[in-house]
Homo-oligomer: A and B are copies of this chain.
Amino acid sequence: MDVAKLIQSNNTKIVFILLDGLGGLPLDGKTELETANKPNLDGLAQISACGLHIPVGYGITPGSGPGHFGVFGYEPLRYEIGRGVLEALGLGVELQKTDVAVRCNYSTIKEGIIIDRRAGRIPTEKNIQITQILSEKIREIDGVNIILKPGKEHRFCLVFRFENNISEREAMVKDTDPQKEGKAPLDPEPLNNESIKVAKIAKKFIEMAREILKNEEKANFVLLRGFSALPSLPSFYERYGLKACSIAVYPMYRGITKLLGMDTISVEGDIREEVEVLKEVYKEYDFLFVHIKKIDSFGEDGNFDGRVKKIEEFDQYLPGILSLNPHVLVITGDHSTPALMKSHSWHPVPLLLKSPYVLGGVCNAFTERECLKGELGIIPATAIMPLVLANSLRLRKFGA
């Protein structure tokens, strides 16, 4: 059920630690969490409510957008983030409601045919250089501001900033990437009557970029995908009455939480710096979200030991977090990223919830297999926030 109508406010504090890509699979019989020496996490699991959550659905491997939306209680199938928006957030663009964001590739075109969709994966330095040139030469089109941001290798993002707010329908323009080499690029066709305006600007942008890049050996063309505007979402405060902040090193996660109206706090460094910031701003918020990235990154690299070490590193900072004595502390991930798979996966994610109102005494450690025994069971990610709110006594009784 939608808990919004049961919300009551109080002065409780909630700390929500997200260890990105937390869940793993066994290598030589033990998972990353089972291998790590983490006395603090294991001790905490013994007195907490544990379980596992399913991010989107059985067998579904989530991207970062759906993975985060789920744990924040926003049904991932209902609330989707456009690919262009996610790319822009990842590159640190502060998107506004007037924006259409697009994921782009530099590519190689010859006699009207795409011969390399990724322009030979040009070096990132080259990308930065030509994106700079494009930025200087295309500042606006028909009064629409153009914002460009280089990514890695051939990738960059493009934002059309209009004067007025842009709806999701107005951003619905067809990808120009033909998805295969040997084909002509597609036109940025409007997918409905409302998106004609955006499609027109996109077409002009492509023509201008082509002219500017014509003498480039490899990156002489651009392909545009994932046209999207900011999704319209009820904010975290509207839904839960929580004054929330997000502490994250990577722009993508600040961006996602900003979509939900959280205050976002940029941190340079890693776990240590994030925990320091958590302590600094602790008094100012009801709900403090801390995003820790590296366990996922090492998973994507297939680096089992790296994941183990990062979990152990986090374990050392746990007493500092516990010393804040929040009413509710949650530790979980947005999805699993087993080193074995070198990618996100569909596997349920270990979940720990500490509050004064749990059974405890059920699990011996914070691992996938111990969490299976836990008092929370295997639950959908969207069940976490109702449990958090309940454990912070922020939900009224339902019915008389």
23 examples of A-B residue contacts, CB within 8 angstroms: A3-B59, A3-B60, A6-B60, A26-B361, A31-B359, A57-B383, A58-B390, A59-B386, A59-B387, A59-B388, A60-B386, A61-B390, A61-B397, A62-B398, A62-B399, A63-B397, A65-B400, A66-B399, A347-B357, A359-B368, A362-B369, A372-B375, A373-B373
Q: Is the CB of A399 within 8 A of B1?
A: no
Contact A62 B345 (CB under 8 A): no
Determine whether the beta carbon of A400 is less than 8 Å from that of B25: no
> In the complex, how many angstroms separate the beta carbon of A106 from the nearest chain B beta carbon?
19
Beyond the given pairs A57-B386, A65-B400, A347-B357, 20 more chain A to chain B contacts, judged by CB atoms under 8 angstroms and listed by A's residue number, are A1-B77, A6-B60, A25-B357, A58-B379, A59-B383, A59-B385, A59-B395, A60-B390, A62-B399, A63-B399, A66-B399, A340-B356, A340-B357, A341-B357, A343-B397, A345-B390, A362-B369, A372-B375, A373-B373, A377-B377
- Does the CB pair A58–B387 fall under 8 Å? yes
A83 close to chain B: CB less than 8 A: yes
- Given A66-B398, A397-B344, also A369-B379 (CB < 8 A): no
Q: 1/0 per residue A58-93: CB within 8 Å of B?
A: 111111111000000000110011010011000000
Q: In the docked arrangement, what's the CA distance between A58 and B1, Å?
A: 9
A338 near B: Cβ within 8 Å? yes
Flag whether A223 is at the interface (Cβ < 8 A). no
Asked whether any CB of chain B lies closer than 8 Å to the CB of A330, the reply is: no
A346 at the interface (CB under 8 A from B): yes
A48–B3 alpha-carbon span in the complex (Å): 35
Q: Which residues of B contact A260 (CB under 8 A)?
A: none
10 tightest Cβ-Cβ pairs between the two chains A and B: A59-B386, A59-B390, A58-B383, A63-B399, A66-B399, A377-B378, A63-B400, A346-B390, A59-B387, A86-B400
Question: Can you list, as one digit per residue, whether each of A32-64 has a CB less than 8 Å from chain B (1) or not (0)?
Answer: 000000000000000000000000111111111
Complex interface: chain B residues within 8 A of A57 (CB): 1, 383, 386
Closest B residue by C-beta to A345: B357
Interface residues of chain A, those whose CB is within 8 Å of chain B, are: 1, 3, 6, 25-26, 29, 31, 56-66, 76-77, 80-81, 83, 86-87, 226, 338, 340-341, 343-348, 356-362, 368-369, 372-375, 377-379, 383, 385-391, 395-400
Q: A347 contacts which chain B residues (CB < 8 A)?
A: 357, 359
Provided the pairs A58-B383, A395-B61 are in contact, do residues A29 and B361 lie with their beta carbons within 8 angstroms?
yes
Q: Which B residues are in CB contact (< 8 Å) with A226?
A: 400
How far is A154 from B125 in the complex, measured between Cα atoms in Å? 77
Contact B64 A25 (CB under 8 A): no
Copy number of this protein in the oligomer? 2
Q: Tell me how far the C-beta of A360 lies from the nearest C-beta in chain B, rounded to whole angstroms.
A: 7
By CB atoms of chain B within 10 A, which of A61, A80, A347, A397 has the most? A397
A229 to B369, CA, bound (A): 48
- Find out whether the CB atom of B26 lies under 8 angstroms from the CB atom of A360: yes
Most buried by B among A346, A348, A395: A346
B-chain residues with CB within 8 Å of residue A81 when the two chains form the complex: 399-400
B400:A58 contact, CB within 8 angstroms: no
Instruction: Report Cα–Cα, A27/B362, bound state, in Å.
Output: 15
In the assembled complex, the CB of A334 is this many whole angstroms from the nearest CB of chain B, namely: 11
Taking the closest CB of chain B, its distance from the CB of A157, in whole angstroms, is 12
How far, in angstroms, from A81 to B77 measured CA to CA in the complex?
Answer: 29
Which residues of B lie under 8 Å from residue A361 when comparing CB positions? 26, 29, 369
**Contact at B387–A62, with CB atoms within 8 Å?**
no
